[in-house]
Amino acid sequence: MGRKTLIIGGVAGGATTAARLRRRDEHRQIIMFERGSYISYANCGLPYYIGGEIRDRNALLLQTPQAMKQKFNIDVRVCSEVTSIDPEKKKVTVRNLNTDEIYEESYDDLVIATGSSPVKPPVPGIDGRNIFTLWTVPDTDAMKQYLEIHRPKTAAVIGGGFIGLEMAENLHRAGLKVSLIEMQNQVMPPFDPDMANLIHETLRGNQVDLILGDGVKEFCQEKDSVIIRLNSGTQVEADMVVLSIGVRPNSELAEKAGIRLNERRGIAVNDYLETSVPDIYAVGDVIGVDHYVTGEKTMIPLAGPANKQARILADNLCGDRKKYKGSMGTSVVKIFDLHAAGVGLNEKQLKAMGKRKGKEYFTALIDQKSHAGYYPGATPLTLKMMFEPDGTILGGQIVGKDGVDKRIDTLATAMRLGGTIYDLEELELAYAPPFSSAKDPVNMLGFVAENILRGMATFIEWDEMDALMADHTRKDDVVVLDVTEEVERKAYAIPGSYHIPLGQLRERMDELDKNKLIIPYCAIGVRSYNAARILMQNGFQRVRTLSGGTAFYRSMHDGE
């Protein structure tokens, strides 16, 4: 018999470690303990089962204890809670939750993959019978049963992160009237407010009652419904509530064993996924990781990193010395017909780090089509990228209805391989009219970024322009220049703008004052960039193009 490895926890981290470990070492004794009844399930798919998009519950169960035993000869013990770890004796204490039997198990190597749990703050009434979290298969069964038996008509989702947005969509799909309540002034914390606004627009367009900047004060049961009292004094009534406030690492067991935690109570591990205690390792949501861009410690509880960590750890347990080189937080979410994705740092984080825009970092924000505009079905894509003066890519966000995932994956790949904005320009990407354009939106990000760094283009954001126009002391120094065609201007024009179509600009530029700040705009920014180049080469020293054009500007003023 070879070495004996105990694994605490299943799902992405634990189950993947076990399977890879067996493929590497046929003779090792592997025992996996899982507190719940399920060792490997698709927790990312749970909201779609609630909404009926995934109809077969069994499709969510990726591995069973029986299959793990037959395929991998792994001793899987479900309903078994590890209650303590004794690093000196190299033993764990286990309680069988079905029989209450308590026993010890020795180990040569111990892997902690205890994951994370939903945050439930001490809000009065939060344990009400029709208040749910969605994290495990039993959570899903309880919610599905409630929907089928009680037939609720209204639901409130608390929290606007990934699961909150997915639950809002899927409860809507199940026929409920949905409210989404978020304490911050935007949904999706990994996104900047401007890009999150595009998500807000879609939520409201699908009749989700979106309440931002307001937290829950208390939950009050009233017959079969819940009265949600908010800090502002607003009250929301719902037949059921779903909590999606965030997650916390399940690190209590490690802490009791003297294993070092980080500031956010995640288990601290080194590059080899070793904890502070010899022969004890950790993977998945429970650990702190290095942020790939900054190198700083952070928590990124995502399935992709957990699976990669598990594979590396299994190899290291077999004698390799592989490093986990950090996480970038690459992610994507579906909100009705909209897709939103991000990678790396956002602008909020850069500002919080004390970075100055236009000095230590720059942003490129563009609107493109998902494929060639002349081919049917092309839809808008909004892309935002942050980068340093040397061209290093810091992060990006993309929102649209088609092609979002492949563009964020391209950006993430370039970042992982040390690529710069100049590499984005040179990428040779697949093109045919149904799929993309000859200049892919990712190429365009590179082109625009280079223009910014070379001083060929200077942009102004929608809120900066609004602030200038609202400042009576500076308003007269600004000309907002509409370079669209007359028919477009009849459909929409920014208030107070001056109109000269692009085709007439060269012969009419004497209508403009060279001493003033000129802000050209068009629908998506292409014509306004051309206008800016004309003006800049004809003696206009102060020209700043409106980022994203009116397509983006109008979304930022949705509901006004």
Element spanning 409, H or E: helix 404-416
3-class DSSP assignment, residue 488: helix
Marked catalytic residue, from 44, 79, 220, 318: 44
- Per the annotation, the verdict on 44 as an active-site residue is yes
Contact (Cβ atoms closer than 8 angstroms) between residue 226 and residue 124: no
Question: How far is Cα 62 from Cα 38, in angstroms, rounded to an integer?
Answer: 9
Residues 6+ apart with CB under 8 A from 99: none
**How far, in Å, CA of 78 to CA of 100, rounded?**
13
The whole-angstrom separation of Cα 273 and Cα 293 is 19
Q: Measure the CA–CA gap between 310 and 316, rounded to whole angstroms.
A: 10
**Cα–Cα distance for residue pair 5/112, rounded to 1 Å:** 11
DSSP 79-112: SEEEEEEETTTTEEEEEETTT--EEEEE-SEEEE
Chain center to CA of 363: 19
Q: Which residues, 6+ apart, have CB-to-CB distance to 312 below 8 Å?
A: 273, 322, 323, 324
Cβ–Cβ < 8 Å for 97, 81? yes
Q: Which residues contact 548 (CB under 8 A, 6 or more apart)?
A: 365, 366, 367, 382, 462, 524, 525
The total number of residues written for the chain in this structure: 560
- Active-site positions read 44
